[in-house]
């Protein structure tokens, strides 16, 4: 039952990521939601087989670093361009 809930969380995060592709902030939030659902799935999987949770702590650390990097990119993008729309700036410029 919990695994089905985490798969539903993953698919809903993926759906939001695909639908809200114009705003960088919403894309980053949906990516973090996907990472949380994957962490929940990993935690359920490791608790099912009575394994150690050391890998889940490494995964949580890397996902926190990924979130901080995305937030810093968002702040620098808003400072240079004024908003987080993908249409307002040219990537190849």
pTM equals 0.81
According to the model, what pLDDT value does residue 65 have?
93
Residue 89 located in a structural domain: no
According to the model, what pLDDT value does residue 20 have?
83
According to the model, what pLDDT value does residue 33 have?
94
According to the model, what pLDDT value does residue 11 have?
95
- In order, the DSSP letters of 4-71 are HHHHHHHHHHHHHHHH--SBHHHHHHHHHHHHHHHHHHHHHHHHHTT--SHHHHHHHHHHHHHHHHHH
What CATH number is given to the structural domain containing 16?
A: 1.10.287.3510
Residue 91 located in a structural domain: no
According to the model, what pLDDT value does residue 51 have?
77
Residue 41 located in a structural domain: yes
Domain span holding position 13: 2-81
pLDDT in tens, the chain (93 residues): 888 999 999 999 999 999 987 888 888 899 999 999 999 998 888 888 887 888 888 988 999 999 899 889 888 888 887 777 766 666 555
Residue 11 located in a structural domain: yes
Residue 87 located in a structural domain: no
* Cβ atoms of residues 22 and 85 within 8 Å: yes
């Amino acid at each position: 039952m919990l695994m089905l809930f985490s798969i539903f969380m993953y698919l809903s995060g993926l759906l939001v990521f695909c639908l809200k592709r114009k705003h960088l902030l919403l894309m980053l939030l949906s990516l973090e939601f996907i990472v949380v659902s994957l962490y929940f799935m990993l935690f359920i999987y490791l608790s099912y087989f009575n394994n150690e949770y050391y890998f889940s702590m490494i995964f949580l650390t890397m996902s926190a670093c990924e979130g901080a990097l995305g937030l810093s990119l968002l702040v620098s993008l808003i400072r240079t361009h004024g908003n987080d729309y993908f249409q307002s700036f040219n990537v190849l410029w």
